[in-house]
Structure 1
Amino acid sequence: MADSSLARAVRWDTVVGALLIVLLLFSFGFVDGFGNALNLSFLIGNTLPIALIALPMTLLVVAGEIDLSVASTAGLSGSVMGALWNQGMTIETIIPLCLLLGVVCGLVNGLLVTRLGLPSLAVTIGTLAAYRGIAQIVLGSDAVTDFPTQYQDFASGRIGNTFIPQAFLPFLVLLAIAVVVLHATPFGRSAFAVGANEEAARFAGIRVKRQKLILFVATGFMASLTGIFWALHYASARYDNANGLELSVVAAVLLGGIDFDGGKGTLGGAIAGVFLLGALQNVMSLLNVSAQSQIVVTGVLLVVSVLGPRVAQQVAVARAAARSTG
C-alpha cells in the first residue's frame, strides 16, 4: 500500500513537472518577451518568496498541519525591519532580530497547536489577522525605501549578464537542505509517519508534539526571512507586504502533490508546483491578464491541486479492482 501511494505521488509529480516544461516551451515560442533575460530574472525573483516559504510549509503539510499566517509573519518582519531602520539601527543588527521575531511567531502558532490541542487551520487564521494588525501598528501606513544599496542589489540583482538572480543561489542551498531533511533523515521519515497516522506514530515512539513545534518554528523563521527578502527585493517595507501570499504558497504546495491530509508527497513536486504557478502568473502578466483574473486562476489551481491527486487515486484503485476481478 505504501509503495502504491508513493507511485501515485511520483506520477502526480511527473504530471506537474511535465506541465511546467510544456508551459515553458509554449511561453518561449509564443509569448513575446518571455525569453529575454530581464523577464526570466523577474520571474525567478518574484517566485522566490513563494518558494522560500514552500520549503518548510511542505514539511508542515506532510506532518498534517498548515500555517496560514506566513504572509502576515513576512509582513510583520518587514514592518519591524523598516521601523528599526528608521530608528537608526544597523541592518546587520536588524536582520537577526527580525529572524528571531519569525521564530517567536512560529513558536506561538506551534504552542497553541501542540500544547492546547487547537486545530492549526483555526489558529493560523487568527494569527494571520493578529500579526498583520501588529505590523500596521508598528509601521503605520509608511513605506521605508532607503535600505543599504548593497543589500538591495543582492536581493534584486543578477549574476553577471545572466538571467539568474543572486538570491537564487542561497535558495538552492536551502532547497538542498530541505530535500535531505525530508527525504533522507529520521526527522523527515517521522514527519511522513505523523501525517499518515498520528496515533500510530506516537505509539512508535515519535515525539509528535515536539516534531510539529519544530516545523512551526521553522516555518515562522522562513516566513520572516521571506519578509526581509521581500522588503529588499522590492525596495519597500510596508505593513501590507506579501499580502495574500499564503494563498499562492498553499496552492503551489498542494499543486505539487502534497496531500492536504498529510503523509504523502515530495519536495521536488512542491517546488515544481511553485515554479509552475510562478511561470503561469508571469505569462498572464505578459498577456495583460488582469490581476483579478490571475487570482481566479490561482483559486482554480488550488481546487485542482486538491482534487487531482484524489481523482488519480480513485482511478488507480478502480483499475486495480478491475484487474483483480478480471
Structure 2
Amino acid sequence: MESAIDTHLTCPRTLSRRVPDDYQPPFPMWVARADASLQQVVMAYLGVQYDDEARRGDALAALRTIVGTFDAEDGPVHHDLTHHVDNRDHHNLMVVAYWADPAAYGRWLRSDEVAGWWESDERLHDGLGHFREVVAPRVDQFETLYAFQEQLPGVGAVMGGISGDINEHGYWGSMRERFPISQTDWMQPNGALSVVEGDPAKGGRVVVRGHDNIALIRSGQEWIEAGEEERSLYLDEILPTLEAGMDFLRDNGEAVGCYSNRFVRSIDLDGNELDESYNIGHWSSLDKLERWAESHPTHLRIFTTFFRVAEGLDKLRLYHEVSVSSGSEQLFEYVNCHPGTGMLRDARVGSHA
C-alpha cells in the first residue's frame, strides 16, 4: 500500500497524522500521480451568466467563444463544460479548464484573442454576465481521491497517472493528510475577501482580492456507463442526500465559512446535459471545510451512504479534488454578474467603490 503523497513530495513530518502507522483503510481508493516535472497547475472557472431563457443562445455562443480560444498553442491541457441555476434563478454556463504550466496560462490570458474579448466594452453591454475565478496551486497544495483508476477527470487528466491503493482515506482528517504540504503546514488562512475594483451592487466590472489558503473542492459523480442498479443507487439514494447538502451550502454557506457553492451538471457545447455532475465549493479555509464535513448532518448522510456502497461500485464513478492556494495566485473577476455570484457575496467593499 502506498502513501497518497508521492515519494518526491515526501519530507520529514512535523505535524502528526490522525491515525496510527498500522492503519488499514476499509476499501481501496486511488490518487492521481504526476512526475516531478509538474510543479504547479492552473484551475480556471470561466463563466457566462444569464437570467432570461431567451438569452441561452447568446450564452452558449459566448461559451463556444471561450472554448475556441483553447485551440491556441497555450490552451489548457483539459477542460469540461457545466450548467447550473443558482439561488437567484440565474443560469450559469462554465468552462472549467486546467493548465499544467502557469506560464502557458499567462500567455493564453494575455493573448489578443483572450484579453481583447474579456476587456472589450462589448462585455459590459452584451446583456450577459461574465466571470473568471482562477487559482494556481503548487503540487504540494492539492490532493485528489478516486474510486476508479481510468480516464481521470479534472486535475487528474493533467497529472496523467494513477497510484496504487493508498493509505490516507476512510477516516476524518484524511483529506488534509493527502496534501503534501500537510506534513509541515496547517494551511491557515489570512485576511478576508475584499473588493478592489468596482461595486457589486452597481454591476459593471468588479475585481475581488482573495487571501492565502482559500480552499476549493470539486467533488464529482459520473454515471455515464452505470447499469440500471447503479443508476438507481445514485439517482434515488445518493443524489437526494447530496442535493440537500449542496443546497444548504449554497443558501447558508456564509455561516459555516463557505464563500460559494455550486452543484453543476456537465453539458456538451450545445448545452445538452451529460450523465455527470459535480460540486464546486470555495471555502474560507480547509479547516472550515473539514468542520462542516465532519459535523453537519447533510454531509454525514452523504459520507455514510458512500461508505455503505463504496466496495460495490462498478461503473458509477465518484471522486474529488481539493486545493488551497496563495492569495497572489488567485484571480476573481466579474462583469455584470448579480451580487450573489461567486466571491461577490462575501467580499468587503472598500472606500474606493
TM-score between the two structures when normalised by the length of structure 1: 0.26
Judging by fraction of residues, say which structure has more strand.
2
Judging by fraction of residues, say which structure has more helix.
1
The higher relative CO (CA closer than 8 Å, separation ≥ 6) is in 1
